[in-house]
Amino acid sequence: MDVKIFPARLSGAVNAIPSKSQAHRALICAALADKPTRVECNGESDDILATAACLSALGAGIERESGAYVVRPLNRGREGSGGIATLPCGESGSTFRFILPIVGALGRKASFTPKGRLPERPLSPLYEELVSHGAELSPQGSVPFYAGGRLTPGRYTLDAGVSSQFISGLLFALPLLDGDSELTLTGTAESFPYIELTVAMLKEFGVKADFDGGVFSIPGGQTYRSSGVARVEGDWSNAAFWLGAGAIGPGSVTCAALDLKSKQGDRAILELLAKFGANVKMDGSSVTVSGGKLRGIEINAKDIPDLVPMLAVIAATAEGTTVIRNAGRLRTKESDRLASVSALLRALGANTDETDDGLVLRGGAVFSGGEVLSYGDHRIAMSAAVAATVCAEPVVIHGAEAVNKSYPGFFDDLRLLGGTVQFSSL
Residue 263 inside a domain? The answer is: yes
CB atoms within 10 A of CB 155: 11
Do 419 and 365 share a structural domain? yes
Which ranges of the chain have pLDDT less than 70?
Answer: 76-82, 425-426
Residues 91, 129, single domain; the answer is yes
Q: Can you give the pLDDT at residue 154?
A: 98
What would the pLDDT profile of 365-384 be if each residue is shown by its tens digit? Answer: 899 999 999 999 999 999 99
Asked if 63 and 161 sit in the same domain, the reply is: yes
57 backbone dihedrals φ, ψ, rounded to 5°: -65, -25
Residue 358 structural domain:
2-17+234-424
31 in the same domain as 9: no
Find how far residue 412's CA is from the centre of its chain.
Answer: 21
pTM of the model: 0.95
Residue 294, domain member (yes or no) = yes
Residue 213, in any domain of the structure? yes
Residue 225 belongs to some domain of the structure: no
Residues 328 and 264 in one domain: yes
Q: Say if 227 falls within a structural domain.
A: no
| Same-domain pairing of 265 and 117 | no
Assess whether 377 carries a catalytic annotation: no
| Phi, psi of 43, rounded to the nearest 5 degrees | 160, 165
Query: Largest Cα–Cα distance in the chain?
Result: 63
Q: Does 59 share its domain with 200?
A: yes
Instruction: Check whether residue 148 and residue 204 sit in a common domain.
Output: yes
Q: CATH no. for residue 350?
A: 3.65.10.10
Structural domain count of the chain? 2
120 plus 191 within the same structural domain: yes
- Check 46, 306, 377, 413 and give the catalytic one: 306
Question: Where does a domain end: 188, 218, 248?
Answer: 218
- Asked whether residue 137 falls in the same domain as residue 212, the answer is yes
Residue 224 lies in a domain: no
DSSP line for 122-183: --TTHHHHHHHTTEEEPPTT-SSEEEEE----SEEEEETTT-HHHHHHHHHHGGGSSS-EEE
Do 78 and 214 belong to one domain?
yes
